Structure 1
Amino acid sequence: MKKDSHIDTELVNAYQAGDQKAIAKLVKRWHVIFCTKAYWLVKDTNLSKDIAQESWQTIMDKLHTLQKPSSFKNWALRIVYSKSLDALRERSRKLTKETEFEISQVSLVEDYKENTELKGSLLKAIKHLPEQQQIVLRLFYTEEYSLKEISDLLNISVGTTKSRLFHAREKLKLILKSKIGNT
């Protein structure tokens, strides 16, 4: 290719003068080399072909601004090199995002397991409470009744409802603390 650098100069001059066939000849001369250089950097055949294609798009867009047609080789290879580095950075960004996503998924699974274990312990602890306290707990937390609604439903005073709820919470704390202390 060194011997034929004058051919590149002539083709660039011809393209800059308006000869559209000159770019096809440049592509024929350089496309495989561009793919090879891109592959050398990214180590992915399909990606290197994409990089070469993107490089040609940039070259065709900017070739009219090339002031020194004899420097086509270095100029074009610099474009391929830059596009390859961009592709590597993008791949790295995607890999980082995927890794972060996988870590967050693992964290969610661990949180879910911990929550499931906690819920299981809580349900077992609730079964150890007197039935009146279990009913008040379920109505208040599961059914989301207000204290007034629970008192009306069970035909007890609001004060008694509060008292049962308070004692149920306190007993749950003791039961859960003793279970946590035993594990």
Structure 2
Amino acid sequence: MKTKKSKDIDLVKAFQSGDKFALTKLIERWHVTFCKKAYWIVKDAELSKDIAQDSWQVIMTKISELNDVSSFGSWSLRIVYNKSLDALKNKARERKQKEDLFYEQVKAIDDQNDDKLLKAKLLKAIKELSVQQQVVVKLFYTESYSLNEISEILNISVGTAKSRLFHAREKLKLIIKKKNYENEHGRYR
């Protein structure tokens, strides 16, 4: 009576000689073992079946290079083991990508909220400017008019438009600086 190992040796030699039926017999003998080994590592039944299939693909392409046919069992289980580790690495990479995407989305939402808060503060500060300065700031930044166009629209010189914009910016800096100081030191308006 032949041992399991001697039967495997005969089947591997037969397959290497071109007997396709020998591979079917090897699969019948080893597939469940491959699935169990993969499951032991990845703890996922469906994934372990995929790993066993992928392992058979590698075995079929590399079995002709197997010189020591008596080592088929350990050789093939090493393939399953490596495929299982690869699957775990892929799962970890996918999980990391999902986490990174989640954090990017959360950060984008936070950035939008920060932008909204900044915009609200800026609009509030603009309301503290003189009407002439407000008009120049809105035309320049909101409507994207050039200084030349603003001077034509308001019927003022380019120098006056430039001066109003400059003084409006300086006043906005002071207003925002003052508001930040008040917020940091507990004085709210």
**TM-score w.r.t. length of structure 1:** 0.94
Q: Distance between the aligned counterparts of 2:143 and 2:81, measured in 1?
A: 64
Show the counterpart of 1:25.
Answer: 25
Show the counterpart of 2:67.
Answer: 67
How many angstroms does 1:81 deviate by? Answer: 0.6
How many angstroms does 1:164 deviate by? Answer: 1.0
Which deviations, in whole Å up to 9, do the C-alpha atoms of 1:102-161 show, x marking residues without a partner?
A: 222222221111111000011111112121111101111111111111101110011111
Show the counterpart of 2:187.
Answer: none
Aligned with 1:121: secondary structure? helix
Does residue 100 in structure 1 map to residue 100 in structure 2? Answer: yes
Aligned with 2:76: secondary structure? helix
Show the counterpart of 1:83.
Answer: 83
Show the counterpart of 1:172.
Answer: 172
Q: Distance between the aligned counterparts of 1:63 and 1:9, measured in 2?
A: 12
Task: Provide structure 2 residue ranges, at least 5 long, that are not aligned to the other structure.
Answer: 184-189
Show the counterpart of 1:36.
Answer: 36
Q: Distance between the aligned counterparts of 1:148 and 1:69, measured in 2?
A: 87
- The AA in structure 2 aligned to 1:72 is F
Q: Distance between the aligned counterparts of 2:63 and 2:175, measured in 1?
A: 78
Deviation larger for 59-68 or 92-101? 92-101
Aligned with 1:140: secondary structure? helix
Q: What percent of counterpart residues are identical?
A: 57
**TM-score w.r.t. length of structure 2:** 0.91
- The AA in structure 1 aligned to 2:175 is I
Show the counterpart of 2:186.
Answer: none
- The AA in structure 2 aligned to 1:105 is Q
Aligned with 2:14: secondary structure? helix
Which deviations, in whole Å up to 9, do the C-alpha atoms of 1:56-77 show, x marking residues without a partner?
A: 0010111111112111100100
Q: Distance between the aligned counterparts of 1:35 and 1:182, measured in 2?
A: 67
Q: Distance between the aligned counterparts of 1:120 and 1:3, measured in 2?
A: 82
Show the counterpart of 1:121.
Answer: 121
Task: Provide structure 1 residue ranges, at least 5 long, that are not aligned to the other structure.
Answer: none
Show the counterpart of 1:8.
Answer: 8
Aligned residues: 182
How many angstroms does 1:41 deviate by? Answer: 0.7
Q: Distance between the aligned counterparts of 1:182 and 1:40, measured in 2?
A: 62
Show the counterpart of 1:162.
Answer: 162
- The AA in structure 2 aligned to 1:171 is K
How many angstroms does 1:92 deviate by? Answer: 1.7
Runs ≥4 in structure 1, deviation > 4 angstroms? none
Does residue 138 in structure 1 map to residue 138 in structure 2? Answer: yes
- The AA in structure 1 aligned to 2:152 is D
